[in-house]
Amino acid sequence: MKIKTLSVLAGIGAPLIATASAPAGFVGIECVIKPNSYGLWVVRVYAEFDRPGEDVMQAVAGTPDSPLHIEVHGGTFYNHAFGTDRPPSTGLVAVFPSLAFDSFVTIGVTAVGPNGQPADSMIITPGFPGISGTQLHTTSSGWAITPDEPAADPFNQNFVAGNGMVLIGQFSTADGGDVEGTILLQYVSNGVVATSVEYFHEIIPAPGIVALFGIAGLVGARRRRQSVGR
């Protein structure tokens, strides 16, 4: 597939480039929520596609018309002492295992391996407020990847599952009751550059529910997609 190299996020602070509404290809977003032995609940947010060789993930952003807002209700984001806003290194995770459950933004990468494999080629734009406290909110920044990077391919098996689901963020909490977000995505679907506004809301299960059912992972329902392409 040939994709003209784009000015991803239009050099952001400016809005995303004008795009068209994409048919099929992009399915929506999916969330997976899991507990762990550190007392954290981890919400992973994925963009899901269904056309190998035709779909490419590009950017997540907030603009004045479509603010990015992700919030933990009743608690705060978990921030590891050695964490950043990016995926952690596998070397540090080996020393500090709880770092794997840090809150971070990404496109297709969960951790950066030795010698940069897999490589984290994501761009976090200037002015990004960072993930801390109770909410992440921006109208003029985001994170992006150029379309020729392997991590942008939803079906590249070197990145997460390689099954059409691209990880775009991991948001963890030790004390929150739910995690809610609205985000603007830019992607290529069926050869068309498009944007859409996505919403997710994941409720942290009560401890008794987890004990009763022995839940190791909970998959959220596919979220509603609202196309904003022109």
Whether residue 221 contacts residue 201, with contact meaning beta carbons closer than 8 Å, is answered with: no
Report pLDDT digits (tens) over 63-78: 999 999 999 999 999 9
The CA distance from 67 to 76, in Å, is 20
The pTM score is 0.85
pLDDT attached to residue 6: 39
Q: Can you say whether the dihedral through the CA atoms of 76, 77, 83, 84 is positive or negative? A: negative
Q: Which residue has the higher pLDDT, 227 or 175?
A: 175
pLDDT attached to residue 209: 53
Q: Which residue has the higher pLDDT, 6 or 96?
A: 96
Whether residue 122 contacts residue 145, with contact meaning beta carbons closer than 8 Å, is answered with: yes
- Sorting pLDDT into bands at 50, 70 and 90, what band is 207? low
Q: Print the SS3 string covering 6-46.
A: CCHHHHCCCCCCCCCCCCCCEEEEEEEEEECCCCCEEEEEE
Report pLDDT digits (tens) over 13-70: 343 444 555 456 899 999 999 999 999 999 999 999 999 888 999 999 999 999 999 9
- The average pLDDT across 137-162 equals 90
The CA distance from 121 to 63, in Å, is 22
What are the residue ranges spanned by the domains of the chain?
23-223
Select from 56, 26, 22, 20 the least CA-distant residue to 222.
26
Whether residue 91 contacts residue 66, with contact meaning beta carbons closer than 8 Å, is answered with: no
Give the largest Cα separation in the chain, rounded.
52
- Sorting pLDDT into bands at 50, 70 and 90, what band is 12? very low
**Sequence-separated (6 or more) residues with CB below 8 Å from residue 66:** 182, 184, 197, 228
